[in-house]
Structure formats: C-alpha cells, structure tokens
C-alpha cells in the first residue's frame, strides 16, 4: 500500500501502515501512539483535531447454537473480543486523550450488521478533515467467493457481525468496509482487524476452506484507483499469540 493517498479534490491523506504483528499489545500501542502524537506544530488546545474511535467486539454470536440453516455450520462463540475492546477503550481514553463521547463501542448483540454499517456511516458524517480516526474489529473473519471480479485470488475477505449467517444475514465484505474508509475525510486513519478464521465457518460451495487454528490480522487501507472497483483489500498477516478462543 502506498504511504500516502489523496481524497477527491487532491488533498493528501496520510495512511499509517499497521505492523504484521499488530495483535501484539506492544505494536498496537505503538500504532495508536503514532496516530495521535503527530499534531501540526503550533495548534492551540482548542484547535487540536478530534480523536474518534469505533470499537467493535463480538464474542457471543446469534448463530452460535443453531447456525443459519442451508448447510451452514453454527458460528462458534469467542471469549476475548468484548474484553479486548473495553480494554482498548480505556487505553485510548487514559493514555491517548480520546474523549469518551468520541468513542463508539458495539459489542455482542449490539454489533449487528445494520448497527455496524450505521456506526460507520455516522463516523463518516461526523469526521472532519483534521480529525484522527481509530477503528477496531475483534471477532470472527472469513472469506467468500468473489462475485464482482475485483479480487485477483477470487475471494472476498469478510467480518462477521453478531447476527451474521442467521436468518439470511450475510457477512460484511471487505468491499463494504473499504467503501466507508474511502469516504472518511480524516487526516489519519488506523483500522485494525483482530479476527480469527474458523474452519467450521466454511459452507460447502460458498466459503473457502480455512486452515484450523489460524489467526489473522489485517489492516484496512485506502488507495487511489482508476475505477470504482480498485481499492486496497484486507491484507492478512500472521498474528502473535494464538488468536481468539
């Protein structure tokens, strides 16, 4: 991913890469510090850019017991995600100067597909050109067959909302996530995906066979393309540790 990007109109946007070991607390804190410490010199306190955050953690999935039918296996519950995002919220407030009112936290039943997309839309609407944005998702991730031909490997990366794969609710595509990031006017954006891919989430003929006990992290990035289908996809990287359980 190129280190710099441009919004429509030619204004530069800095996109700070996330290290491969982003699941490590040391690297995560370093990334947040990098995001928040580089304010333009000479700004008065009242002119400091707003630091905004959207934190999503899902451990208790609606389809964990019965699945969604049609050959789709239940979505296993996870123990760590909710605790993770609550700890991150505290760190953002106590160590990095985020205001509680500028942080949105969605957990478990509050993190439905509709709620996540609505929160992203609100983030786009509220963010100013000098603001700094941190987005964090902790929960299940997966892949599905690419249907619009924009993926070189033939797969779209996805994240699973609380109600994913129940009553016909589909995963959130990397294409959908990137569409919101492309619209963010923020000066700096750091988005972290702390996701575990589980082989039981594989549906025959629809989802890719994912290796057991594989934990993957990804960065949401932004690139300038020549068409509406050109954008930076979620790029998996091996995490430190064992991932979610």
Per-residue pLDDT of the chain (245 residues; tens, 9 = 90+): 333 344 444 333 444 434 333 445 555 665 666 665 554 444 445 567 899 999 999 999 998 876 555 556 788 899 999 999 999 999 999 998 999 999 999 999 999 999 999 999 999 999 999 999 999 999 999 887 777 766 666 777 889 999 998 888 989 988 899 899 889 998 889 888 888 655 444 433 333 332 222 222 233 333 322 221 212 233 333 232 334 44
**Enclosing domain of residue 221:** 21-34+50-80+88-99+116-129+139-189+217-245
Q: Residue 14 domain-assigned?
A: no
Name the pTM for this structure.
0.69
Q: Residue 41 domain-assigned?
A: no
How large is the greatest C-alpha to C-alpha distance in the chain, in angstroms?
60
pLDDT of residue 71: 56
pLDDT of residue 245: 44
Distances (CA, A) of 176 to 18, 28, 36, 39, 170: 20, 24, 26, 30, 12
Q: Residue 185 domain-assigned?
A: yes
Q: Residue 236 domain-assigned?
A: yes
pLDDT of residue 238: 29
pLDDT of residue 167: 81
Q: Residue 210 domain-assigned?
A: no
pLDDT of residue 19: 37
Structure tokens at 155: 């797969």
pLDDT of residue 164: 92
pLDDT of residue 175: 85
Closest CA to 143 of 133, 153, 128: 153
Q: Please tell me the distance from the alpha carbon of residue 217 to that of residue 239, in angstroms, as a whole number.
A: 6
Q: Residue 44 domain-assigned?
A: no
Tally the C-alpha atoms within 13 A of residue 129's C-alpha that lie toward its C-beta.
7
Q: How many structural domains compose the chain?
A: 1
Q: Residue 143 domain-assigned?
A: yes
Q: Residue 154 domain-assigned?
A: yes
Closest CA to 196 of 57, 92, 90, 71: 57
């Amino acid at each position: 991913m190129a280190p710099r990007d441009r919004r429509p109109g030619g204004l530069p946007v800095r996109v700070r890469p996330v290290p491969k070991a982003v699941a490590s607390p040391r690297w995560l804190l370093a990334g947040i510090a990098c995001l928040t410490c580089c304010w333009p010199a000479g700004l008065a306190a009242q002119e400091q850019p707003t630091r905004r955050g959207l934190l999503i953690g899902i451990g208790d999935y609606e389809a964990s017991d019965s699945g969604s039918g049609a050959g789709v296996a239940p979505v296993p519950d996870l123990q760590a995600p909710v605790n993770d995002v609550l700890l991150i919220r505290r760190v953002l407030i106590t160590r990095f100067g985020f205001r509680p009112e500028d942080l949105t936290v969605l957990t478990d039943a509050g993190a439905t597909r509709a709620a996540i997309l609505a929160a992203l839309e609100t983030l786009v609407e509220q963010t100013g050109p000098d603001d700094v944005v941190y987005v964090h998702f902790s929960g299940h991730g997966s892949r599905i067959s690419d249907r619009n031909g924009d993926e070189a490997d033939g797969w779209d990366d996805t994240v699973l909302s609380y109600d994913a794969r129940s009553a016909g609710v589909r995963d959130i595509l990397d294409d959908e996530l990137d569409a919101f990031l492309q619209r963010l006017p923020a000066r700096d954006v750091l988005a972290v995906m702390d996701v575990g891919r589980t082989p039981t989430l594989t549906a025959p003929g629809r989802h890719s066979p994912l290796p057991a006990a594989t934990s993957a992290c990804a960065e949401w990035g932004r690139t300038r393309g020549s068409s509406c289908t050109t954008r930076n996809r979620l790029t998996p990287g091996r995490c430190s540790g064992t991932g979610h359980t």
